[in-house]
Structure 1
Amino acid sequence: MEQPNQSYCRGSQDKTLLAMTIGQAFDRTAAQYAEGEALVVRHQQRRYTWRQLAETVDLHARAFLALGMQTGDRLGIWAPNCAEWLICQVASAKLGVILVNINPAYRRSELDYVLKQSGCQWLVCAGSFKTSDYHAMVQALKPDLRGLISLDSSPPPEFVPWSQLSALGAGVPAEQLHSRQASLHVDQPVNIQYTSGTTGFPKGATLSHHNILNNGYMVGESLGLTAQDRLVIPVPLYHCFGMVMGNLGCITHGTTMIYPNDGFDPLLTLSAVAEEKATGLYGVPTMFIAMLDHPRRAEFQLSSLRTGIMAGATCPIEVMRRVIHELHMGEVQIAYGMTETSPVSLQTGADDDIERRVTTVGRTQPQLETKIIDDAGNTVARGVIGELCTRGYSVMLGYWNNPEGTREAIDDAGWMHTGDLATMDEQGYVCIAGRNKDMIIRGGENVYPRELEEFFFTHPAVADVQIIGIPDERYGEEIVAWIRFHPGHVANELELLSWCKDRIAHFKTPRHFKFVDEFPMTVTGKIQKFRMREISIEELREQST
């Protein structure tokens, strides 16, 4: 029972959870809105009605059966936003195949780790994206997989071209797909998403049909999505933001999904909103700022917009005002969550005032519970800072093949410990006061210093390294690496940047380097990262004046 003075809140029980698999929910929507527009992929110049999308999904699911994919197999997908990403997402879900999301910015060592840790048997990948040659990286790794599928029209011989899958699928009876789909249940794992680990290596958050289907549904309910809505999704599909809040939010409501490009481009996103008469738009604050400040924004008629979600970082009040007035998004909402909670656990409402939308992350989502606790595990009073915890349908099954990490994150009572510091007010609105460890959020991407520090330790010249985040107007935060070299060794900034280029994702690469003989420490020998932040901010300020 809720105690009014305690930081505990139970979300509304008015909305019923969906007791179905992703495949069942997709089929229901496709039947209900068969001739409605389901998907628009502007950079590929493709459009699908729900009927056409369902036919394509089923054909490719049958092709996966022809290749021998079994329930519980892991299928990696390493590609930017495209029609094939969504087709893989739904087709694999219909077979009980677990989709492993791989960040398109990953380099060889990161790809190698994820494929091995998840035990991937299959990989679907693009030929290339931006500066990444996916085929070359896969060929260099020679991963132990049962099959490779390429989205490229003429891939190397060891890859099956995506274009051949239709013929493969045509040879498998539809009854075989229906039989497999009917054998699945809602609590089976359907997705593994890697979240940068505080202990150095990413952990694979394992999510079920029940987890992510219902989270997409509840987010869509809060936005008031219907089959008349058209949602522009410029955020990456490999994140929960794109594939759950975007794709599954639309699938559960018959809403049209619109991908403006393979990666975020402010001009192409504005163009998609205007030309497709979109009613909703997703993004992190840096994306909205880039669109608002684009020199050609005034050319586009954006008045069809009404709603959307801003997430991934705190939104400055001036940006929120501009989104509401200049982008016509009067019902824009803020969402908070983490991959381990499918992702959203708190969300503002369409009628919350602007103050609530910039100072809080909203209230507890329907069918979930949140509480804020002290170090001893006791629920704190309202207004008191403590650790935010979430419990309910959205909490992951666990970290893939990592029982110890799972036990550290989810307690015996089923509470997911977020590691974020927060307060809860009398109305149940939650304000995030600080973050787990020293996590950096750069342009909506989570970067854990420990993971980066362990990476830099592999450089032959580096004796010690400390990674910190400092404020940045464009990305919210930027990464600074403090480095101490081994005696007799040295490397300059250019050499370190070049070394990072083919080994780690671009968003993890430090923007600034500082070479030191020692780090600021307490008398007991503990590193003072707060002092390092102060020094870095001051030195960069002096350089810019």
Structure 2
Amino acid sequence: MSDLSTNPIKTIPALVFDAARRYGDLPAIEDGSESVSYDQLPAECLSVCRALIASGIEKGDRVAVWAPNCSRWVIAAIGLQMAGAVLVPLNTRMKPAEAADVLSRSGAKLLLSVGDFLDKDYPASLNPVWPESLQSIVVMSNRQAPACDRIIGWDNFIANGADIAGLVAINRAASVTGDDLSDLMFTSGTTGKPKGVMSRHSACLQAFSEFVTILGLKAGDRYLVVNPFFHAFGYKAGWLACLLAGCTILPEQVFDAKKVLKRIESDRVSVLPGPPTLYLSLLADPELGNTDLSSLRVASTGASSIPPVLISRMRAELGFEVVTTAYGLTECGGLATICNPQDSAEIIAGTSGKAIPGTEVSILDKQGTILPAGETGEICIRGFNVMQGYFDNPKATVETIDSDGWLHTGDLGELDSAGNLKITGRLKDMFIVGGFNCYPAEIEAQLAEHPAIAQSAVIGVPDDRMGEVGCACLVLRPGHAIDEVSMIQWCRERMSNYKVPRYVRVLDAMPVNASNKVIKQDLVHMFNQSKQSQAEPA
């Protein structure tokens, strides 16, 4: 029998066994009436591992999870990683066709899914677009519809693993190495097709050990994870960080300011990371003054520009002792830079901090020359946290990681004299809606299927609550007409909610340059002018 305790902690399975020894009866997960302690967690995860082995899952196979934040999401993810499988998280906002595309291109053999969530039967929704590689769906929660050959309930799935000896599962978990893939997270690109980012176990643990240290997370902290588990912020900076520090994972499925305020008070929440919109919503809620926030200690934000006054208000009105900001993208495991919590509100709000230890951040010009402090260019990252590459896409990998090992982020920025990163814009045609990356090319590809649309261009425009939202600028086919309400509804039926444009503008023609490329800056200017004219009194 392999002894996980004799090896350095290089994998997530090894971390779970180590955490059980270190944190014992401290609660690892509390989800409603369900509570799992650290010393119970390995057995819970090994039961999933045994069931997966019984299902024929081998090391390196891809297994997907499509569910909102819940205790079984964490247990399922760790269980499949114990089996040596690669976690493929699916965005719960995906439409069935979007989910099927990721399942198909990842070659996922099995899907662990929620049953009924937000009035949607997730397994049934995949029936019309069932991917060829997918053998079955395991339903982790209640579901009204009956099971079938391809859809199995959680209890039956776990029971199927009873014939697999516990020693077999433990040895499978021990065989996982730090260089093995921990996850395959699909991120959209300017080509409009999501790309699978391959990350290693050891890189995840090394990066987020730094995150835990800088934030000062400690055993017994109670971490309300509002950020979705399918995103690096909820997965790696969320429940994985909790396991590293001995915190209690408190999953929250859907953000609602009033509900979160109640949970802070009732669950004595001490750690609450999130995008700026989360804190702005809490600060604006009428119940804020009637809520006991004395347990709050640590906050981490990012994803968009932040006014310094927000940092000050988070400290003064929400009571956070530690407030910091960070920068990362899926291609570097979700973490590249982070601010020292001791920095001023101006630095924490105006920059994304310095590169985490063991990595480099540089600003490069178009020729690949490293620029000095204060000059703007492309943000590039080098170090252990850079992805292994894009799954089954060597061309895109070479285009993103150069021969010197620099990951080209597509973001524009500059470094100050102290090495703090300031993000100034984006080379890639992208905007961020409430912390979610939106790629116009992907949305435009969907809009092209509308029978009335001849041409589309999507831009990001400012929004007080979400930071940015989409505006679809359209040129129509002759003889067709649309209205904004019906167009947005059409999009809602086909796209994840955050991708749906909040504004629609119909144009006679697109502004183009000499190369016949749409000048999106002109579209932004036109949008701003139209908003300004609407705001002016008649």
The structure 1 residue matched to 2:223, chosen from 208, 227, 231, is 231
SS of corresponding position for 2:249: strand
The structure 2 residue matched to 1:271, chosen from 240, 248, 262, is 262
Change (3 A) 1:465 1:225: same
Superposition deviation, residue 494 in structure 1: 3.1
The structure 1 residue matched to 2:70, chosen from 60, 72, 82, is 82
**How much is the aligned-residue C-alpha RMSD, in angstroms?**
1.6
Query: Which letter does structure 2 place at the counterpart of 1:543?
Result: Q
**How far apart in 2 are the matches of 1:132 and 1:396?**
34
C-alpha offsets along residues 309-337 of structure 1, whole Å, 9 cap, x if unaligned? 11221222222111111111131110100
SS of corresponding position for 1:71: coil
SS of corresponding position for 1:282: coil
SS of corresponding position for 2:273: strand
The structure 2 residue matched to 1:442, chosen from 420, 433, 455, is 433
Q: Which runs of 5+ in 1 are unaligned?
A: 1-16
SS of corresponding position for 1:152: coil
Please tell me whether the aligned partners of residues 520 and 532 of structure 1 are also in contact (alpha carbons under 8 angstroms). Answer: yes
**How far apart in 2 are the matches of 1:530 and 1:353?**
34
Residue 7 of structure 1: aligned partner: none
**How far apart in 2 are the matches of 1:179 and 1:55?**
14
Change (3 A) 1:19 1:371: farther
SS of corresponding position for 2:40: helix
Residue 506 of structure 2: aligned partner: 515
Query: Which letter does structure 2 place at the counterpart of 1:461?
Result: A
Write out aligned runs for 1:95-114 (5 A): 95-114=83-102
C-alpha offsets along residues 65-115 of structure 1, whole Å, 9 cap, x if unaligned? 111111111111111111111011111111111111110000022112111
C-alpha offsets along residues 146-205 of structure 1, whole Å, 9 cap, x if unaligned? 121112334432311012233223332111112212222111112111111111111111
Query: Which letter does structure 2 place at the counterpart of 1:147?
Result: S
Q: Pick which of 493-502 and 74-83 moved more.
A: 493-502
SS of corresponding position for 1:437: coil
SS of corresponding position for 1:340: helix
Residue 3 of structure 1: aligned partner: none
**1:258 maps onto 2:246 in alignment:** no
SS of corresponding position for 2:533: helix
Residue 474 of structure 1: aligned partner: 465
Please tell me whether the aligned partners of residues 30 and 50 of structure 1 are also in contact (alpha carbons under 8 angstroms). Answer: yes
SS of corresponding position for 2:190: coil
The structure 1 residue matched to 2:140, chosen from 151, 173, 181, is 151
The structure 2 residue matched to 1:41, chosen from 26, 31, 37, is 31
**1:30 maps onto 2:20 in alignment:** yes
Superposition deviation, residue 523 in structure 1: 4.6
Bigger relative contact order, structure 1 or 2 (CA pairs below 8 A, ≥6 apart): 1
**How far apart in 1 are the matches of 2:96 and 2:89?**
15
**How far apart in 2 are the matches of 1:254 and 1:18?**
18
Change (3 A) 1:167 1:131: closer
The structure 2 residue matched to 1:122, chosen from 97, 105, 110, is 110
**How far apart in 2 are the matches of 1:70 and 1:292?**
48
Superposition deviation, residue 415 in structure 1: 1.3
Q: Which runs of 5+ in 2 are unaligned?
A: 1-6
The structure 1 residue matched to 2:163, chosen from 166, 171, 189, is 171
Query: Which letter does structure 1 place at the counterpart of 2:59?
Result: T
Write out aligned runs for 1:409-448 (5 A): 409-448=400-439
Please tell me whether the aligned partners of residues 229 and 280 of structure 1 are also in contact (alpha carbons under 8 angstroms). Answer: yes
Write out aligned runs for 1:446-525 (5 A): 446-525=437-516
C-alpha offsets along residues 117-155 of structure 1, whole Å, 9 cap, x if unaligned? 111111111123325431331112132211211123344
Superposition deviation, residue 19 in structure 1: 4.9
**How far apart in 1 are the matches of 2:124 and 2:475?**
34
C-alpha offsets along residues 382-427 of structure 1, whole Å, 9 cap, x if unaligned? 1111111111111111111111111111111221111111111111
Residue 21 of structure 1: aligned partner: 11
Change (3 A) 1:171 1:524: closer
Please report the TM-score for the alignment, with normalisation by the length of structure 2: 0.95
Please tell me whether the aligned partners of residues 18 and 210 of structure 1 are also in contact (alpha carbons under 8 angstroms). Answer: no
The structure 2 residue matched to 1:63, chosen from 47, 51, 61, is 51
**How far apart in 2 are the matches of 1:491 and 1:129?**
32
Query: Which letter does structure 1 place at the counterpart of 2:319?
Result: H
Please report the TM-score for the alignment, with normalisation by the length of structure 1: 0.93
